[in-house]
Amino acid sequence: MQPLLRWAGSKRKLLPELARYWSPGFSRYVEPFAGSACLFFRLAPERALIGDINEELVHVYKQVKKDSASIGKALRRMKIGRDEYLAVRSRNPALLSPPVRAARFIYLNRFCFNGLWRTNQQGRFNVPYGGRKCGQLPTESQLQAVARRLKSTRLVAGDFETVLRQTKAGDFVYMDPPFRVTARRVFTQYDRNAFSHSDLLRLRTWMERLDARRITFLVSYAESDESAFLSEGFATRKLSVRRNIAGFTARRRAFSEVLISNINLGGDSPC
């Protein structure tokens, strides 16, 4: 199944490699840095726990699960084009009804530049129009299919620790955190929620905790000093992937992604 949303940093291209570590023998799928949750939609696990710090994003999943028909209705009222995009973008989500707020996010996600999520200092979404080529709005039946998929999924808006505290034996935890952003201001979809050095330390602590509790985890991270830090003492596997740097197509290059886990990763190209 295709994910509902476009997401910069999505691991779509790695899906066949990531999917091989899941088996229906796990009692639940857990993903604390969900974004478009493309691995979740690909695996279609019977039970899942999904979270993200982006409240607008998690609101969309919660609302699709609750009432996809009202979102479909709101989307059908929206025209496609730059003027409509700017008008939809200018609406304050806090003043909209829950389905219209979710529809606004889906609309902006579909037609914004490169599927980025970026906000200004006031927390307002400010990504420019990406053009019609970005695709089509989801149909009613696509929304219904996503709603069915989310029926047995628990959704959490918050920091990854909130999700990881709820893990238990038998879970499979997939973690795809953002890159650590240093002091230099960069154009990033995570904006104020950018991953810091202390977030990285918290993540490493949680990897150790999960391992101590024998809960299987899989982390994907761009090859870097940070991935080396996260990997220490765990199994690793290096994969090559074409990535879009900071959302700019012109700067698309091949990079290595490192998979890190407390299970044997096998594969042809270990680090």
Positions in the binding site for ligand SAM (CB under 6 A): 7, 9-11, 32-33, 35-38, 52-54, 159-160, 176-178, 190, 193, 195, 199
Q: How many CB atoms lie within 10 A of CB 120?
A: 10
Nearer to ligand SAM, 97 or 187 (CB): 187
Instruction: Please give the structure tokens belonging to residue 3.
Output: 């994910």
Shortest spacing between CB 67 and ligand SAM, in angstroms? 23
Shortest spacing between CB 147 and ligand SAM, in angstroms? 19
Closest CA to 18 of 219, 169, 168, 214: 219
Closest CA to 106 of 66, 148, 135: 135
Nearer to ligand SAM, 73 or 154 (CB): 154
Instruction: Please give the structure tokens belonging to residue 225.
Output: 């000093």
Shortest spacing between CB 82 and ligand SAM, in angstroms? 26
Shortest spacing between CB 200 and ligand SAM, in angstroms? 10
Provide the phi-psi class of 180: left if phi over 0, else alpha when psi is between -120 and 50, else beta: beta
Write the single-letter amino acid at 52: D
Using CA atoms of 82, 84, 85, 90 in order, give the dihedral in degrees to the nearest 10.
130
Nearer to ligand SAM, 144 or 244 (CB): 244
State the DSSP code for 16.
H
Nearer to ligand SAM, 71 or 116 (CB): 116
Shortest spacing between CB 99 and ligand SAM, in angstroms? 22
Nearer to ligand SAM, 61 or 111 (CB): 61
